[in-house]
A = this chain, B = another copy of it.
Amino acid sequence: MSRVVKLAVIPGDGIGPEVVAEAEKVLEAVTAQSDVVFDKTRFSLGAARFLETGDTLTDDDLAAIAAHDAILLGAVGGTPGDPRLKDANIERGLLLKLRFTLDHYVNLRPSKLFTGAPGPLSNPGEIDFVVVREGTEGPYVGNGGAIRKGTPQEVANETSVNTAFGVERVVRYAFDLAERRRKKVTLVHKTNVLVHAGAIWQRVVDEVAAAHPDVSVDYLHVDAATIFLVTDPSRFDVIVTDNLFGDILTDLAGAVTGGIGLAASGNINPDGAFPSMFEPVHGSAPDIAGQQKADPTAAILSVALLLDHLGLAEESARVSAAVETDIAARSAARTTAEIGSAIAARL
């Protein structure tokens, strides 16, 4: 009896379809001899679909996607400055709407410097940490507005909303993860300035820490954290932080570990009430779309996270190992498909 996993695939815009094709290639290769079958449904969503139909993500789309066991997403977003997209916010209307509606409260972003990966640091040391970014609240809620818009008297507010419920569940996840790793959690925030948002994060971390006496706990202001990411990234094991700081830190972390072309992520609903979604950290890069120039590794490593989330730990480890070997062997420039095929061939 084989296990059937219903997978929603959202290739998206720009380089999204190219990297997702390679991720699917690898998924097929790694499950070829196993008894798991991925039953895939393709969803055509993103800027291109919006331009055709005017829809970003309908209730029907949402319901159909939610009926799957997991989601694989490439990248969404049209060409910056495209006047036809001026009033469409594909990021909020599609990507964030999926994360919020499907209650992806853990945005999991591992950072590992693979041997042979090109990085900007002259002396990176060993880098192997995970950012646990809150995914459903904070400054991302869209809570705000403006008065006297467009005038010299305009005032525009944007409110970060932080709940004990929301902070606690992601902090618990971070400590549980740290228990299975090097047992170190670093809270990153800006508690000395954002005193209201900062206080709730600090309180909850203190409380959860008390239940994990074997996990050492550290605090860094977000500005100081960016310094350590380039001067001493080995110090980190698990970073827990809010939605915005997590966004910033993980792009920087991607850059120091060989570029955003290698950075994978999972938008996770640990409770299993909704399907989790796996996607590269990078965007749709319309400037290089359709040219087979994109590195599909981030999408492929997102498949590894997806497999792990589904309890397919062995398959996940095999994908990671194949990527690791491939990176170590990289030399000449290869196309998107060549990289995907090379990794698939190692499985």
Q: Are B120 and A157 in contact (CB under 8 A)?
A: no
Q: Are A260 and B227 in contact (CB under 8 A)?
A: yes
Chain B residues within 8 Å of A154, by CB: 163-164, 200
Minimum Cβ distance to chain B for residue A227 (Å): 4
Q: A155 an interface residue at 8 Å Cβ cutoff? A: yes
- Expressed in whole angstroms, the Cα–Cα distance for A123 and B256 within the complex equals 13
Q: A195 an interface residue at 8 Å Cβ cutoff? A: yes
Chain A positions 160 through 180: 1 when the CB is less than 8 Å from some CB of chain B, otherwise 0:
111111001000000000000
Chain B residues within 8 Å of A121, by CB: 120-122, 230
Select A195's contact among B142, B165, B192, B227, beta carbons within 8 Å.
Answer: B142
Q: A83 an interface residue at 8 Å Cβ cutoff? A: no
Using a CB-CB cutoff of 8 Å, which residues 221-244 of chain A contact chain B?
222-224, 226-227, 230-231, 244
Instruction: Report how many copies the assembly holds.
Output: 2
Given contacts A120-B123, A251-B227, contact A161 B168 (CB under 8 A): no
Please choose the segment from A33-41, A63-71, A143-151, A301-309 that sits at the chain B interface, where 4 or more of its residues have CB less than 8 A away. Answer: A143-151
Minimum Cβ distance to chain B for residue A243 (Å): 9
Select A224's contact among B195, B199, B231, B251, beta carbons within 8 Å.
Answer: B251
Count, chain A residues at interface, CB 8 A: 63
Minimum Cβ distance to chain B for residue A164 (Å): 4
- Expressed in whole angstroms, the Cα–Cα distance for A231 and B256 within the complex equals 9
Q: Are B157 and A230 in contact (CB under 8 A)?
A: no
For residue A146, which residue of chain B has the nearest CB? B196
Chain B residues within 8 Å of A216, by CB: none
Q: Are A156 and B197 in contact (CB under 8 A)?
A: yes
Minimum Cβ distance to chain B for residue A90 (Å): 8
For residue A80, which residue of chain B has the nearest CB? B219
Q: A213 an interface residue at 8 Å Cβ cutoff? A: no
Q: A89 an interface residue at 8 Å Cβ cutoff? A: yes
Chain B residues within 8 Å of A53, by CB: none
Minimum Cβ distance to chain B for residue A261 (Å): 11
Which residues of A line the B interface, CB within 8 A?
80, 89, 91-92, 96, 120-123, 139-140, 142, 144-146, 148, 150-165, 168, 190, 192-200, 203, 219, 222-224, 226-227, 230-231, 244, 247-248, 250-252, 254-256, 259-260
Q: List 5 A-B contacts (CB under 8 A).
A: A159-B159, A223-B250, A226-B248, A226-B252, A248-B248
Q: Please give 13 more A-B residue pairs, beta carbons under 8 A apart, in addition to A121-B230, A158-B162.
A: A91-B192, A139-B160, A146-B200, A152-B168, A156-B163, A158-B159, A159-B159, A194-B244, A226-B226, A226-B248, A226-B255, A227-B252, A227-B260
